[in-house]
Amino acid sequence: MAQVKPSLAKGTRDFSSDEMEKRNFIFNTLKKVFKKYGYNEIQTPSFENLSTLTGKYGDEGDKLIFKILNSGDYLSKASPDLLASKDSTKLIPYISEKALRYDLTVPFARYVVMHQNDITLPFKRFQIQPVWRADRPQRGRYREFYQCDVDVVGSASLLNEAEFILIYKESLQALGLKDFTIKLNNRKILTGIAELIGKPELIVDMTVAIDKLDKIGLEGVNKELLERGFTEQDLAILQPIILLEGTSAQKLESLKQTLASSQTGLAGIAEIEKVFDIIRHLVPNEDLFTSIVELDITLARGLNYYTGCIFEVKTNEVAMGSIGGGGRYDDLTGMFGLKDLTGVGVSFGADRIYDVLEELNLFPESTSSSTLVLICNFDEQSELYSLPIVQELREQGIASELYPSSVKLKKQMTYADNKKIPYVLLVGEEEMNTGLLSLKDMKSGEQHKLTKSELLSFLVKNNS
């Protein structure tokens, strides 16, 4: 049998230990902020019943769901005529009952419905797990990637939306980002625009097209709107709204006049104003609306389940797509039989954030190695002498390694260099006779003689 050259599936990646240290830096930073705002962690399975996921993301989203073939003879239930027709859409129900999760929000809604008697409302949760999408891989876009979601269900208060803006701000600043924009809009405003045009039934078509403005430009959006049933007259009304300029406050005033005949549109404007007012009370000494928060009428978030405020976050330091987004969904759980339970949530794109931090060199050096000190191994006697030392260090919470064999010292030093271990402990014949251990600082090259107690105190002090 010919050997198969190993390869990765497109859109997936391996992660080295160094990369995992950096990824965990992101996850741990986010978790710390989430918990600070009262959110607790849950997890859901990697795959769901296909029926749980289908119909929740719109037609385009449904096409990107990774289906899982049924176990065993998965074609046995399909009729010969159906197989001969080669119609995959009709064939899927017979050969696939499960799928990899597309996002964390729909599984969360399913979780809430199934555990409604066990949770306390409002229920605030965060979830950091991988999701899968059969998308075309490109820079910043993968087929397997992690989402970091934070949601609350059972509360209609716009305090939640305001706090999500602060969660974004605090989290991204804690990660080292300095220049980013938190974009905000409201699906009710978009509904009002569709009503103004006289085509409320085409709200989904309009939002899907507008949401692509950054990717295909205004000309591309107009072309897609025409293909989706809008007229040149409709575009003439829509164009100045899409191109609306000025401060967030100025945009809101302009929209009040434009959407004066739409109660739905005015309700969306009022919700935005309320969110802004809450933020001003939460952080009275910061003017976030001239620095990082921006009202963007073209923001549509092309997922069907959003009903109120919607968010999107972009970094201005690196050419990259959105690094976060989310919004209000009034009745997502209604799809699973639990009606009128409103919710709102946002997500952080961990993989894109990783790429941004890497490009900007923002990862702290402390993420480069989990080991603080390597004890070199000279011979069998040195190894036996060092065993209780390495264990005592570990008991004090100090990540330590004893090199597992007495190879040349140069090889052991190279090992420490490659793993970016900051300290190396040399325990040779002289050190065992005198009790003074030689500790080398790998960065400065300095070497110090220390007793065991002095060594322990030094490493505890530097174990931050």
Parallel, antiparallel or unpaired: strands 423-426 and 47-49:
unpaired
State how far the Cα of 424 lies from the Cα of 373, in Å rounded to an integer: 5
Which tens digit of pLDDT belongs to each residue from 375-410?
A: 999 999 999 999 999 999 999 999 999 999 999 999
Q: What percent of the chain has pLDDT over 70?
A: 96
Q: Which residue has the tokens 């996921």?
A: 53
Strands (E) in 37-115, as ranges, are 40-41, 47-49, 67-69, 96-100
Tracing tokens 């921006």 back to the chain, one arrives at: 294
- The DSSP bridge pattern shows strands 324-329 and 96-100 to be unpaired
Using alpha carbons, select from 220, 301, 319, 308 the residue that is nearest to residue 264.
Answer: 308
Q: Check residue 409 and give its pLDDT.
A: 93
Kindly indicate the confidence band of residue 105, based on its pLDDT and cuts at 50, 70 and 90.
Answer: confident
Poorest-pLDDT segment among 72-76, 160-164, 359-363: 72-76
Tell me, what's the pLDDT at 243?
Answer: 81
Which residue in 109, 114, 107, 111 sits closest to 129, CA to CA?
Answer: 107
Percentage of the chain exceeding pLDDT 90:
60
Predicted pLDDT of residue 369: 61
**Higher-confidence position of 52 and 242:** 52
The pLDDT value recorded for residue 60 is: 82
Q: What is the pLDDT of residues 160-183, one digit of tens each?
A: 999 999 999 999 999 999 999 999
Q: What is the pLDDT of residues 23-39, one digit of tens each?
A: 999 999 999 999 999 99
Q: What is the pLDDT of residues 205-225, one digit of tens each?
A: 887 788 787 788 888 888 888
Token pair belonging to 395: 């008991």
Q: 96 pLDDT band (50/70/90 cuts)?
A: confident
Mean pLDDT of the chain: 89
Please report which confidence band the pLDDT of residue 464 belongs to, taking 50, 70 and 90 as the band edges: low
Gyration radius from the chain CA atoms:
28
The residue-averaged pLDDT of 337-352 equals: 91
**Environment class of residue 399 by beta-carbon count within 10 Å: exposed (0-12), middle (13-18) or buried (19+)?**
middle
Nearest 5°: CA angle at 41, between 278 and 49? 110
Pairing of strands 373-375, 67-69: unpaired
pLDDT of residue 302 exceeding 70: no
d(CA 149, CA 143): 18
pLDDT (0 to 100) of residue 217: 84
Tell the residue number behind the tokens 């129900």, with chain if given.
93
Give yes or no for a contact between 143 and 13, defined as CB atoms under 8 angstroms apart: no
Contact status, residue 314 vs residue 296, Cβ threshold 8 Å: no
Answer yes or no: are the C-beta atoms of 53 and 99 closer than 8 Å: yes
Q: Is the pLDDT of residue 43 over 60?
A: yes
